[in-house]
Structure 1
Amino acid sequence: MPTIGVLADELSHAFASSEAIRLDLSDVTAPDLSLVQLVAAARIAARDGGHDFALAAPVDARFGALLVRAGFNTASADDAQFWFHGDAAQ
């Protein structure tokens, strides 16, 4: 996984050149709040720009625990679908 700045740049370029973007977080071994914030901001940008943005796979248990610590455990059904692909929050 690139640094957060590199990932932000890559997402920005993807939004400029594509309608459908899939973000693969499967290689993230130590997620932190900056990644959650970037992905949340990217979701808003995608929605506002009419892009199809999703995760390539549901987040793993470690990432799920970070989402709980960050307060995403009270998220909407759409948020749960985005992060966990319909599976129960891990």
Structure 2
Amino acid sequence: MNIWVVRQTCTMEHDTYLSTHITEKGALITAIKIVREDLTDGFDEDELEDMRSGMPHHPEEDLMQYDSKQLRGIVNDWWEYGFDMNEHVQYQIHQTQVVG
């Protein structure tokens, strides 16, 4: 059975967050939510409104409407934007298999 692992690593603090998903779409949505939270936490609504024009997508966007192919594009946009904002955080999705 295929599973997808979402990994977020902060290289400065040596922290790693992992989650596993039985669908690629679930992994992609989680990865997008993680990077959006990293980039928007701690800002009030006015600050976010000022920042929003530079963001690749709306940070409150409903992701369930997209298929996996579209979500791959969205997550790559967010990762690229996130790297430009904070190069010390890395995001990845790995597909692997569980045999049992």
> Which range, TM-score by smaller chain?
0.3 to 0.5
- Of structures 1 and 2, the one with the larger relative CO (CA 8 A, separation 6+) is 2
Larger radius of gyration: 2
TM-score for the superposition, normalised by structure 1 = 0.34
TM-score for the superposition, normalised by structure 2 = 0.31
